[in-house]
């Protein structure tokens, strides 16, 4: 299993070994690391921008979890959160920021964290950085990771850095780029960097190192390279992915003219990744990223998954619909839009559903991803393609689980910003728009086996362009939104029917 680790099983009585601070708990690695730390007997104090978003993770209900709602830029709040902690994990990364500003932002946040740690008397910091050879030709992405290392080491707390290349795991950005490229393109014109060597590592092995370094005193203050047993090129990884997916061998044609910028735009069109996330990843692939020694494996021995084993395990999780965390989980959740003041356009519809709250809520939760939107799916696909072409996420982000959604989940080009079981769901659009758009569903009980379902689309335009946009798409609302409401009604009543219950 991909998420199993070599951490020994704990006794039924939970051991209390101390407190660790965890940043990035809603992100890809942090969301998986927390339950492993709990299993190992640590109490976990999570610092997050949104407690409501983090609470949607099932492990937050476990004993030993504490949540502190604070921004990573708030030095005072960080300092108070760090008091009494034995160590802190720094898993903050700003790659989703616009343009190249993520590099300056990451350096600033790391400096703030180091100062807070010094003032709080925190003994040590553990950081997951990027593997890469030093030098003037180092990509901005890898240079940024090393700048963060230096900033974190500038304080009094001892820094342990684990440097990894590509992390292979279901839902990781690198893995999803690889999977989508191979699945969708039988012939690929690629940059020269497909011939560059790297040493990928399975997410299971990364989690083992992150947990075990707390127990191995020799890791304190060290920089350790972590990687799997294979040194491979990206081209070889694509071949392995195709074989594991049962696909024909992909024809790869490297050309020298494809720059990281052009590569990131191509990745943006073919995969769910935005260009601003893809670019630093594409830049990083041009550098050889291979471990300099085996010190990490000597200090914290474990069985390392081969690249093929890691890919097979990740694909198993995807196919089994057991993806625990995804690259898209870490998106910033904006505050509720200020609907007071200014022009707000509304398209409100309602219908009576011959089903209960539970069935109706379940039907609403099925929107997007493979299920689609119940009607005119070709229009949604067209809108998603248009969004991709102008730099938005499009529909290819899909959804983490085919039937369940949680607060903060990405759902195609929507984000779940409010969810109250059997009562209300709100989605906020993350597509490129000249304004702010939300889509809400409210469920009110009318009587036994009958509810009122309200569907409300709101749009707060930004300038004249936003107003023109609203009126240009208004004629389509009768098709899209009316059909969606009717489709949810039909699905809820199907779920309510005796035949559906019998099949269940």
Residue 69 sits in a domain whose CATH number is 3.40.50.720
> Do 494 and 346 belong to one domain?
yes
Q: What Rg value do the Cα atoms of the chain yield, rounded?
A: 24
378 and 484 co-located in one domain: yes
What angle, 0 to 180 degrees and rounded to 10, lies between the N-to-C axes of helices 463-496 and 377-389? 140
- Residue 4's pLDDT band (boundaries 50, 70, 90)? very low
Report helix angle 101-120 to 140-153, nearest 10: 20
Task: Give yes or no: residues 173 and 87 share one domain.
Answer: no
pLDDT band at 213 (very low <50, low <70, confident <90, very high): very high
Instruction: Kindly list the distances between the CA atom of residue 25 and the CA atoms of 37, 93, 329, in Å, as whole numbers in the listed order.
Output: 12, 12, 10
Last residue of a domain, one of 271, 295, 324: 324
Question: Which of the four pLDDT bands, split at 50, 70 and 90, describes residue 214?
Answer: very high
- Across the range 156-164, mean pLDDT stands at 95
Q: Using the 8-state DSSP alphabet, how is residue 368 labeled?
A: S
Q: Which residue has the higher pLDDT, 97 or 56?
A: 56
- Whether residue 7 lies inside any domain: the answer is no
Residues 174 and 67 in one domain: no
Tell me, yes or no, whether 118 and 160 share the same domain: yes
Length of the chain: 504
Q: Let me know if residue 205 belongs to a domain.
A: no
CA dist., res. 285 & res. 424, Å (int): 43
Nearest to residue 9, comparing CAs of 39, 33, 35, 37? 39
Instruction: Provide the 3-class DSSP secondary structure of residue 157.
Output: coil
pLDDT of 217 higher than 80: yes
Start-to-end CA span in the chain (Å): 28
Measured between alpha carbons, how far is residue 313 from residues 29, 106, 237, 323, 328 in Å? 16, 32, 14, 11, 20
Q: Is 133 helix (H, G, I), strand (E, B) or coil?
A: coil
HSE, CB side, 13 Å, CA atoms: give it for residue 202: 26
Q: Cα–Cα distance between 78 and 223 in angstroms, integer?
A: 24
Let me know if residue 208 belongs to a domain. Answer: no
132 with 186, same domain: the answer is: no
Q: Could you tell me if 411 and 398 lie in one domain?
A: yes
Residues 58 and 136 in one domain: yes
| 470: in domain | yes
- Determine, yes or no, domain membership for 278: yes
Return the residue matching tokens 């497909």: 194
Final residue of a domain: which of 324, 355, 388? 324
| Nearest in space to 137 (alpha carbons), one of 59, 88, 196, 212 | 196
What are residue 55's phi and psi, to 5 degrees? -65, -15
Cα 219 to Cα 299: distance, rounded to the nearest angstrom:
8
What digits encode the pLDDT tens for the residues 171-193?
Answer: 787 888 888 878 877 877 777 77
Residue 227 has pLDDT above 90, yes or no: yes
Residue ranges making up the domain that contains 104: 14-164
Handedness of CA 300, 302, 304, 309 (dihedral sign): negative
CB atoms within 10 A of CB 387: 21
Give the 3-state secondary structure of residue 433.
coil
Distance CA 338, CA 458 (A): 12
More confident residue, 501 or 356: 356
Strand partners, 201: 167
pLDDT of residue 349 exceeding 60, the answer is: yes
In a domain, 55, yes or no: yes
Question: Which residues are bridge partners to 435 per DSSP?
Answer: 461
195 and 72 in one domain?
no
Most confident of 88-97, 102-111, 435-444: 435-444
Q: How far is Cα 329 from Cα 412, in angstroms, rounded to an integer?
A: 12
Please give the mean pLDDT across all residues of the chain: 83
pLDDT for position 106: 86
Answer yes or no: do 310 and 382 share one domain.
no
Count the domains in the chain: 3
Give the number of other Cβ atoms within 10 Å of residue 404's Cβ.
12
Distance from the Cα of residue 236 to its chain's centroid: 26
CATH of the domain at 491: 3.30.530.20
Residue 226 lies in a domain: no
Beta strands in 155-278 (DSSP E): 158-164, 167-168, 187-190, 197-198, 201-202, 223-226, 232-233, 251-254
**How far apart are alpha carbons 193 and 195 in whole angstroms?**
5
Instruction: With H, G, I as helix, E, B as strand and everything else as coil, classify residue 3.
Output: coil
pLDDT range class, residue 244, cuts 50, 70, 90: very high
Of 106, 138, 164, which one is at a domain's C-terminal end? 164
Domain-located, residue 79: yes
Measured distance CA(374)–CA(485) in Å, rounded: 8
pLDDT, position 331: 53
Spatial separation of the C-alpha atoms in residues 118 and 320, rounded to whole Å: 44
178 and 118 within one domain: no
CB 469 within 8 A of CB 434: yes
Instruction: Indicate whether 28 and 73 sit together in one domain.
Output: yes
- 5 pLDDT higher than 80: no
- The answer to whether 244 and 312 are in contact (CB under 8 A) is yes
Q: What percent of the chain has pLDDT over 70?
A: 80
Give pLDDT, residue 333: 43
pTM exceeds 0.75 for this model = no
Question: What pLDDT, on a 0 to 100 scale, did the predictor assign at position 177?
Answer: 80
Nearest to 282 by CA among 176, 181, 169, 191: 191
Residue 285 neighbours by CB under 8 Å, 6+ apart: 193, 196, 198, 234
Cα–Cα dist 206/33, whole Å: 9
């Amino acid at each position: 299993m991909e998420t199993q680790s070599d951490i020994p099983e704990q006794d039924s009585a939970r051991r209390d070994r101390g407190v660790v601070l965890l940043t990035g708990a809603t992100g890809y690695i942090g969301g998986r690391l927390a339950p492993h730390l709990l299993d190992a007997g640590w109490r976990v104090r999570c610092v997050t921008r949104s407690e409501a978003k983090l609470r949607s993770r099932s492990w937050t209900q476990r004993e030993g979890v504490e949540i502190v709602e604070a921004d990573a830029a708030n030095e005072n709040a960080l300092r108070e959160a760090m008091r009494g902690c034995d160590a802190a994990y720094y898993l903050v990364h700003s790659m989703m920021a616009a343009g190249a500003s993520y590099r300056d932002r990451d350096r600033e946040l790391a400096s703030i964290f180091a100062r807070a740690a010094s003032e709080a008397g925190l003994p040590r910091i553990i950081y997951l950085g990027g593997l890469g050879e030093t030098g003037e030709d180092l990509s901005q992405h890898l240079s940024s990771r090393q700048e963060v290392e230096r900033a974190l080491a500038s304080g009094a707390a001892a820094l342990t850095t684990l440097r990894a290349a590509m992390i292979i795991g279901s839902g990781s950005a690198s893995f999803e780029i690889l999977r989508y490229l191979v699945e969708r393109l039988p012939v690929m014109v690629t940059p020269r960097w497909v011939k560059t060597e790297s040493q990928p590592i399975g997410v299971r092995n990364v989690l083992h190192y992150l947990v075990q370094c707390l127990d191995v005193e020799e890791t304190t203050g060290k920089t350790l390279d972590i990687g799997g047993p294979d040194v491979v090129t990206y081209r070889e990884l694509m071949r392995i992915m195709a074989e594991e997916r049962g696909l024909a061998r992909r024809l790869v044609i490297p050309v020298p003219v494809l720059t990281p910028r052009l590569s990131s735009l191509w990745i943006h069109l073919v995969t769910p990744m935005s260009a601003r996330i893809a670019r630093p990843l594409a830049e990083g692939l041009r550098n050889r990223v291979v471990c300099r020694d085996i010190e990490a494996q000597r200090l914290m021995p474990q069985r390392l998954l081969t690249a093929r084993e890691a890919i097979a395990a990740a694909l198993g999780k995807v196919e089994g619909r057991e993806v625990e965390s995804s690259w898209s989980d870490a998106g910033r959740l904006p505050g509720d839009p200020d609907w007071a003041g200014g022009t707000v356009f509304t398209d409100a519809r309602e219908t009576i559903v011959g089903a209960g709250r539970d069935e109706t809520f379940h039907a609403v939760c099925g929107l997007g991803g493979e299920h689609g939107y119940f009607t005119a799916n070709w229009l949604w696909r067209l809108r998603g393609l248009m969004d991709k072409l102008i730099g938005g996420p499009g529909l290819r982000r899909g959804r983490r689980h085919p039937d369940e959604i949680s607060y903060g989940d990405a759902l195609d080009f929507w984000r779940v910003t409010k969810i109250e079981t059997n009562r209300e769901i709100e989605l906020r659009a993350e597509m490129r728009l000249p304004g702010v758009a939300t889509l809400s569903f409210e469920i009110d009980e009318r009587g036994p086996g009958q509810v009122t379902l309200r569907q409300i689309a709101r749009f707060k335009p930004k300038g004249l362009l936003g107003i023109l946009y609203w009126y240009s798409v208004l004629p389509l609302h009768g098709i899209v939104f009316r059909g969606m409401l009717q489709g949810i009604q039909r699905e809820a009543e199907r779920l309510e029917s005796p035949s559906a219950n019998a099949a269940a």
